[in-house]
Amino acid sequence: MDKKRFALIGAGTFGQVHAKAYSVHRDAEFAAVCDLDETRARQTASKWGAQRTHTDWREVASDSTIDAVSVATPDFAHTEIAVAMAQAGKHILVEKPLAMTVEECQRMIGAARERGVKLMVDFHNRWNPALYAARRAIDEGNIGAPRFMYFRLSDTQAVPLKMLSWADKSSPLWFLGTHCIDLACWFAGEVPRRAYGCCRHGVLRQKGVDAPDFFLSVLEFPGGAVASIENSWLLPESSPSIFDLKCEVCGPEGNVHIDTSSHRATEITDKDGVHYVDILGEPSVHGQHMGFMIESVKHFVDCVVNGREPLVPGEVGLEVTRIACALEQSAEKGELAVIER
Ligand SMILES: NC(=O)c1ccc[n+]([C@@H]2O[C@H](COP(=O)([O-])OP(=O)(O)OC[C@H]3O[C@@H](n4cnc5c(N)ncnc54)[C@H](O)[C@@H]3O)[C@@H](O)[C@H]2O)c1
């Protein structure tokens, strides 16, 4: 079978995961890297074996040898690139959130449909074994239909203050909460009708980043389930893990508890304190790259190579963005938002 040729647009922190996944998939040729920062593009290409580098994504769009692309630019910079790639006939894997407005998501979906290309949004937690096990417990009837769901996904302050140069154009809701919204809908098996959001600014603004410190959300589903979601960028930098993910799903017959950050499967204590290492996301074992973050990109490759539909298509990204927008509106007005569809 001929290998399909993949390109990466946006070679920052998370673009590296896409590059790694393409480089290890036997049906993929990792062909090109594009980043505004030429050095970063070159270093990424050389590390993961891509031949071509670009600083203008339009050159990738006009390269007829490229079959599919990952868009891993900042949250606010997905749409123009994804629409142009779809119009150029390339399959597209877009980092989460798909876009930050409903209209932009609809433009991407429309462009992909028109050219008959695949559009997937990278909600990689759908491949996280801990969260997948919760979904299995629901599907197999072990806990009954979820009545109440709790999600906490927070980062240390290092993420907005040191890692994301564009943190003031995002928020804990967009960067972290969109994962939780996706999971809540996946577990509930439906989308919510009402949403309440609440956020506060202060600590990060004092430190020079104009983003909310935290965002709290409540989602009410038509079937009766309710999800409560906490997302903050306030954890101390000395925390044992850069992120904290916890989840509880309660049904009438049982419940599921998840804690993938303070897991203690491997706890390392050294002169700087206690650390929990990544054993699920993208660990390397004996030089082999694995983990759920790699698996979602590999799924996209499989869809492109075998003509299958992505498990997390653009329409899922649209619904998550619709809900995030309703939550922002609710937080702004201090009122419950009814989600119109
Ligand atoms: N950092 C994470 O842990 C993480 C995890 C999951 C998903 N994501 C998502 O991945 C996406 C990228 O996040 P990141 O943390 O890698 O950001 P980043 O700032 O580290 O990297 C973004 C890269 O995109 C490049 N870029 C920006 N505009 C461009 C353009 N027009 N053309 C080409 N390159 C361009 C930048 O130069 C930069 O190298 C975001 O949507 C984010 O929400 C990030």
153 close to ligand 1 (CB < 6 Angstrom):
no
DSSP 156: B
Query: Which of 36, 124, 126, 170 is the best mutation target for the ligand 1 pocket, counting ligand atoms within 8 Å of the beta carbon and taking the most?
Result: 36
**Mean pLDDT of all residues in 151-173:** 98
CA distance 159 to 213: 12
Residue nearest to atom 15 of ligand 1 (CA): 13
pLDDT at 341: 86
Among 68, 15, 1, 65, CA closest to 44: 15
214 close to ligand 1 (CB < 6 Angstrom):
no
Residue nearest to atom 8 of ligand 1 (CA): 14
What are 34's two structure tokens?
């594009």
Inter-residue contact 322 to 102 (CB < 8 Å): yes
Q: Residues 105, 106, 111, 112: is their CA dihedral positive or negative? A: positive
CATH code, 129-280+321-338 = 3.30.360.10
63 close to ligand 1 (CB < 6 Angstrom):
no
In tens, the pLDDT along 173-189 reads 999 999 999 999 999 99
- Amino acid present at 157: Q
Grade residue 1 by pLDDT with cuts at 50, 70 and 90: low
Q: Residues 15, 17, 21, 23: is their CA dihedral positive or negative? A: positive
Expressed in angstroms and rounded, the spacing between residue 13 Cα and the centre of ligand 1 is: 6
Please give the number of the atom of ligand 1 that sits closest to the Cα of 14: 16
Radius of gyration (C-alpha) of the chain in whole angstroms: 20
Query: Which residue has 């939550």 as its token pair?
Result: 327
pLDDT at 121: 98
pLDDT at 264: 86
CA distance 22 to 311: 18
Expressed in angstroms and rounded, the spacing between residue 79 Cα and the centre of ligand 1 is: 13
11 close to ligand 1 (CB < 6 Angstrom):
yes
User: Which of helix, strand or coil describes residue 90?
Assistant: coil
Query: Which of 9, 14, 296 is the best mutation target for the ligand 1 pocket, counting ligand atoms within 8 Å of the beta carbon and taking the most?
Result: 14
In tens, the pLDDT along 278-321 reads 999 999 999 999 999 999 999 999 999 999 999 999 999 999 99
pLDDT at 262: 85
pLDDT at 9: 98
pLDDT at 263: 83
Inter-residue contact 328 to 197 (CB < 8 Å): yes
Query: Which of 42, 73, 209 is the best mutation target for the ligand 1 pocket, counting ligand atoms within 8 Å of the beta carbon and taking the most?
Result: 73
What are 63's two structure tokens?
């390269």
321 close to ligand 1 (CB < 6 Angstrom):
no
Q: What is the dihedral of CA 314, 316, 319, 323, to 10 degrees?
A: -120
Please give the number of the atom of ligand 1 that sits closest to the Cα of 55: 33
Grade residue 2 by pLDDT with cuts at 50, 70 and 90: confident
Expressed in angstroms and rounded, the spacing between residue 96 Cα and the centre of ligand 1 is: 10
13 close to ligand 1 (CB < 6 Angstrom):
yes
Inter-residue contact 19 to 294 (CB < 8 Å): no
77 close to ligand 1 (CB < 6 Angstrom):
yes
Among 55, 108, 104, CA closest to 85: 108
Expressed in angstroms and rounded, the spacing between residue 44 Cα and the centre of ligand 1 is: 13
What pTM, to 2 d.p., does this model score? 0.97
CA distance 280 to 262: 12
Alpha helices in 69-196 (DSSP H): 79-87, 102-115, 129-139, 158, 172, 178-188
CATH 3.30.1360.120 corresponds to the domain 4-125+289-310: no
CA distance 259 to 94: 27
Residue nearest to atom 4 of ligand 1 (CA): 14
CA distance 262 to 276: 6
In tens, the pLDDT along 52-110 reads 999 999 999 999 999 999 999 999 999 999 999 999 999 999 999 999 999 999 999 99
Expressed in angstroms and rounded, the spacing between residue 11 Cα and the centre of ligand 1 is: 7
In tens, the pLDDT along 216-267 reads 999 999 999 999 999 999 999 999 999 999 999 999 999 999 999 888 899 9
Phi first, then psi, for residue 37 (nearest 5°) are -90, 105
- Amino acid present at 163: M
Any idea where the domains of the chain sit in the sequence? 4-125+289-310, 129-280+321-338
Percent of the chain with pLDDT over 70: 100
35 close to ligand 1 (CB < 6 Angstrom):
yes
CA distance 38 to 59: 14
What is the Cα 162 distance to its own chain's centre? 19
Please give the number of the atom of ligand 1 that sits closest to the Cα of 12: 21
74 close to ligand 1 (CB < 6 Angstrom):
yes
Q: What is the dihedral of CA 22, 299, 177, 265, to 10 degrees?
A: -80
